[in-house]
A and B are shown apart, each in its own frame.
Chain A
Amino acid sequence: MFKNQIKPAIFMFLILTIVTGIIYPLVITGIAQLVFSEKANGSIIYKDGKPIGSKFIGQSFDDPKYFWGRLSATTPAYNAASSSGSNLGPLNPQLINNVKARVKALTISDPDNKNPIPVDLVTSSASGLDPHISVAGAMYQIGRVVRLQGIREETLKSIVKKHTCGRFLGLIGEPVVNVLELNLELNENRMK
């Protein structure tokens, strides 16, 4: 009974390995590279032929003239070679310290803004690479960016709107703003 099953087990394992471990990923990769080459390779944004980031991977911003993203628990922040969340429990003193520090940084960079701070701006994302903030998170920062970039509020609002992605079919997910794309456009505007 035992011996009878050894040969089938070995051969089955080999063949299924070839089918699911080699043919399947290779076929998928082949189709992906032919049809969705840009997306399959990480949706990398290029400028003058040089890679300057990915549409889906956030970057770290703490300069007040830019929009800031989520906090990142990776070391260093937004380390896309080693994703990680903070894993801090809701009562962990370290979490409270991180939140306090972010509240302080936001307040110092924009002392006149007394609005309540949207919670996503003071908490760290699950991946440490979150490319987005909530629309409220962007609105909160508009006054500061307008002042430091020296552009009109209306212009900035329309740029934010341009980089806002609503719910899928108006129902699924949360409306978000892509921070890197937004800041890249601000930078372009300034260069002009």
Chain B
Amino acid sequence: MNINNVIQSLLFLAVLIISIKPLGIYMAYIYEGKPIGINVWLVPIEKWLYRISGVDSETEMPWKEYAIAMMIFNIIGIFIVFLLQRIQAFLPLNPMNMPNVPEDLSFNTAVSFATNTNWQSYGGETTLSYFTQMIGLTVQNFVSAATGMALILPLIRGFMQKQKETIGNFWVDLTRSVLYVLLPLAIVFALVLISCGVIQTFRPSIKTSLLQITKNEKGDIISEQTIALGPAASQIAIKQLGTNGGGFFNVNSAHPFENPDALTNFLELIAILLIPAALCYSFGYMVGDVRQGMALLAVMLIIFIPCLLGSVYFEQKGNPVFKNFNIDQQATNLQPGGNMEGKEARFGIVNSSIWAVSTTAASNGSINSMHDSHTPMSGLIQMWLMQIGEVIFGGVGSGLYGMISFAIVAVFISGLMIGRTPEYLGKKIESYEMKMASIMILIPPILVLGGTAIAVVLPEAKAAILNHGPHGFSEVLYAFSSAGNNNGSAFAGLGVNTFFYNISLGIAMFCARYFLAIPILAIAGSLSKKKIIPVSQGTLPTYTPLFVTFLTMIVIIVGALTFFPALALGPIVEHLMM
């Protein structure tokens, strides 16, 4: 820790927190259908869109129909992305002549992008054509994020409505998320990125000469460099805003063309947390009590900030093994010092750590440093933030509904403790809501721990491990933590482009997304049918510091108890070995 680390972290948090309110209010207006900003101009387009799609935007859906609409739309997405990869060699915009992608990898990528995970078994610049990246992946970056954002709305309506069977119209919620929130933000952001040096071109790779001619390991002379290009900025803008995280290039936002300098890095960092954080404000605003949203945001920040400081601390301490050599790891005005393996010089320690913690807290999954090369404790923080269910900011929409499911559990437990009927935002929480919330909390750990357990006994799965010993176990645990919570980042040493990992992680991503999305809609449907209980002396307020502390404890305890044994075998053992 040095003064510069603290300043940069505070600056990041300050800009993030300032941006929450305006965007939060804007989104609340949009979702309530009130005129604000650009939607005044775009309403005719929205109406036209419904007309040709045969959507009756005035008709609301019961929760089951909402779920069916959401599932059909998402399954079409999976199918199309799969198909595009399988036939990309015959399609246009393929200047580097990329061949068709194998079945298992196509399946993995398709599920990965439709579920807002953006796990990457493939290397962007070596596998996919520009056509697949645009028509397949960029589209999913928008619509998977919009699906997540849409899913939060029935829940809000569930709290607000009295004895109503319907919970809103999926197509309306989806379209508004894309048209009024994601698209305008992405357009502005993409152009800003390009002005800083992020590439956006349809030209093929360019060959340049080298200043110093070198030899490779075999002794062949190398006199030129092939530089991969492509329409990157348009995808990067939405991948950060929509907590997607799938990079245009293999090394994601560590690539100088995706993230060329300190400014782009700062803006991309803000973009990672912006919408998930602002949605908390929208939530409070829409349920008529901003304090309720701020309480959830407070829980997120209470867990996020220590994780951030912890990661910076351990990374800045550096690698103790290097002390045996004449190597300077001390931070000064002239160098960041610390554990620089797998980090870019322009980001140094603090910006790599802020990123690593933000991208795993939100279910973004883009990276600007190699998480596999982080110190064990920093790696532990990243894994744990995913394992607690991607509720610390989490995915756009999905993070908030995950946190609300924890809040439902928290009011239920506190209701039992004080002997009152549990209620949240004026609605009684009964066994049906508890069952659904429990399913949502239990599924990810089953996927993570079950998947890891299977992988570490299968010889072909173990063969993919790069770093042996406890770090190798961490690689596998990280992979399933990431897929089982729709994050998408990786300890990239694990060679995951194999049949076993492509299929198993694909299934984990699918279950983690939809087996949580459907129960949350069921909760919304059930809440919607209930009466609103007026606030009385017996109501447990859910915006007080006491409740915030209680909810934080619930999140931490569930995460800690479930994953401590697994974390002990991986990063904790490795830390003790250092």
Contacts and interface: CB of A to CB of B under 8 A. Distances in A.
Contacts of B210: 53, 59-60
Contacts of A83: 123, 125, 228, 249-251, 254-255
Interface in A41-95: 41-45, 50-63, 66, 70, 75-92, 95
Contacts of B327: 99, 103, 116-119, 122
B533 interface: no
B191 A32 contact: yes
A60 B345 contact: no
Interface of B: 7-8, 11, 49, 52-55, 64-65, 68-69, 72-73, 76-77, 80, 123, 125-126, 134-136, 138-139, 141-143, 171, 174-175, 178-179, 183, 186-187, 190-191, 194-203, 205-212, 214, 216-217, 222, 225-229, 231, 233-235, 238, 249-251, 254-257, 260-263, 265-266, 318-319, 321-322, 325-329, 332-348, 351-352, 367-370, 372-376, 466-467, 469, 471, 474, 491-493, 574, 577-578
B256 A8 contact: no
Nearest to A30: B200
A20 B341 contact: no
B251 A91 contact: no
Contacts of A79: 225-226
Among the interface residues B135, B226, B249, B467, which one has the most CB atoms of the partner chain A within 10 A? B467
Contacts of B347: 173-174
A39 B201 CA distance: 10
A58 B266 CA distance: 22
Contacts of A114: 326
8 contacts: A13-B80, A28-B187, A32-B191, A36-B195, A62-B212, A99-B322, A118-B335, A136-B328
Contact of A2 (B68, B197, B346, B374): B68
Interface of A: 1-2, 4-13, 15-17, 19-22, 24-25, 27-29, 31-33, 35-36, 39-45, 50-63, 66, 70, 75-92, 95-96, 99-100, 103, 114-120, 122-137, 139, 165, 167-168, 171-176, 180, 183-184, 187
Contacts of B249: 83, 127
Contacts of B336: 120, 134, 174
Given A17-B80, A53-B225, 13 more contacts: A21-B135, A28-B233, A56-B256, A76-B214, A84-B251, A86-B341, A89-B471, A90-B374, A91-B578, A117-B328, A123-B342, A136-B328, A171-B8
B53 to A, nearest CB: 4
B206 A51 contact: yes
Q: What DSSP secondary structure best describes chain A's contact surface?
A: mixed
Contacts of A80: 225-228
A43 B256 CA distance: 11
A24 B187 CA distance: 8
Given A21-B139, A28-B233, A85-B373, A51 B54 contact: no
Given A40-B200, A122-B327, A51 B77 contact: no
Contacts of B123: 82-84
A84 B273 CA distance: 26
Among the interface residues B216, B336, B376, which one has the most CB atoms of the partner chain A within 10 A? B336
Instruction: Across the A-B interface, give the 6 residue pairs with the lowest CB-CB distance, nearest first.
Output: A173-B262, A87-B493, A126-B254, A11-B53, A136-B335, A174-B348
Given A124-B341, A125-B342, A174-B348, A52 B211 contact: yes
Given A129-B256, A132-B346, A22 B134 contact: yes
B373 A89 contact: yes
B334 A59 contact: no
